Amino acid sequence: MNNTFKETQKLSGWVFVLLIPIELLFSYGIYQQIFLGEAFGTKPAPDIVLIVLFLLIFALIAFFWLLNLQTEIDETGIRIRFFPLNKRKIKWEDITKAEVLDYGFIGGWGIRFTQKYGTAYNAKGKIGLALQLKNGKKLLIGTQRGDEIEKILKQQLT
């Protein structure tokens, strides 16, 4: 039986639904104001402001495009990487309790700090691996494949 697990989750597309139309609006504004020489809006911003805002939104889109949650579980422990922000490794011997559960909604996606679950790493959904560590800290790792994790937990924790 295979007792390794790898999962990579991307953030859901809602960020792009919000940012891409704004980016297109700034693209049009730059085109109209800089290339056509016509003011963009009734109170046009300076050209440099349009360009800087365009670049900032482009950087945000690129950042969210790259952002992903990587989870690996094997005989040594659990590795979490919220690329490109954070990386963490937990050894089995440092875990006192581990369970897959439905955590509901915890205020959004990304890295969250919650009273109930401690540090939560999630990209989408509402199923996660909740960990209680020997040092008293708690972790929650979101997953789309809770059943597979439960099988590995049974192997590792028995």
R_g (Cα) of the chain, nearest Å: 21
Does some domain include residue 89?
A: yes
Starting from the edge strand earliest in sequence, which strands make up the sheet with 118-122, in order? 95-102, 127-133, 138-142, 118-122, 110-114
Q: What is the DSSP letter of 104?
A: -
Both 99 and 144 in one domain: the answer is yes
Both 93 and 149 in one domain: the answer is yes
Does some domain include residue 79?
A: no
Both 90 and 140 in one domain: the answer is yes
Task: Give the mean pLDDT per block of 10 residues along the chain (158 residues).
Answer: 82 80 93 93 92 94 90 93 89 93 82 88 89 94 91 79
Residue 2 confidence (pLDDT): 64
**CATH code at 94?**
2.40.50
Residue 27 confidence (pLDDT): 94
* Rounded distance between C-alpha atoms, residue 13 and residue 65, angstroms: 9
Both 52 and 114 in one domain: the answer is no
Does some domain include residue 72?
A: no
Residue 91 confidence (pLDDT): 94
Both 136 and 92 in one domain: the answer is yes
Both 142 and 93 in one domain: the answer is yes
What value, to the nearest 5°, has the Cα angle with vertex 134 and ends 128 and 138? 30
Tokens describing residue 132: 């209680």
Q: Indicate the number of domains in the chain.
A: 2
Residue 59 confidence (pLDDT): 94
Both 105 and 131 in one domain: the answer is yes
Residue 105 confidence (pLDDT): 81
Q: Tell me how far CA of residue 79 lies from CA of 34, 58, 75, 127, in angstroms.
A: 49, 30, 11, 18
Does some domain include residue 114?
A: yes
Rounded (10°) CA dihedral 115, 117, 122, 124: -90
Q: Which domain holds residue 25?
A: 8-66
Residue 158 confidence (pLDDT): 65
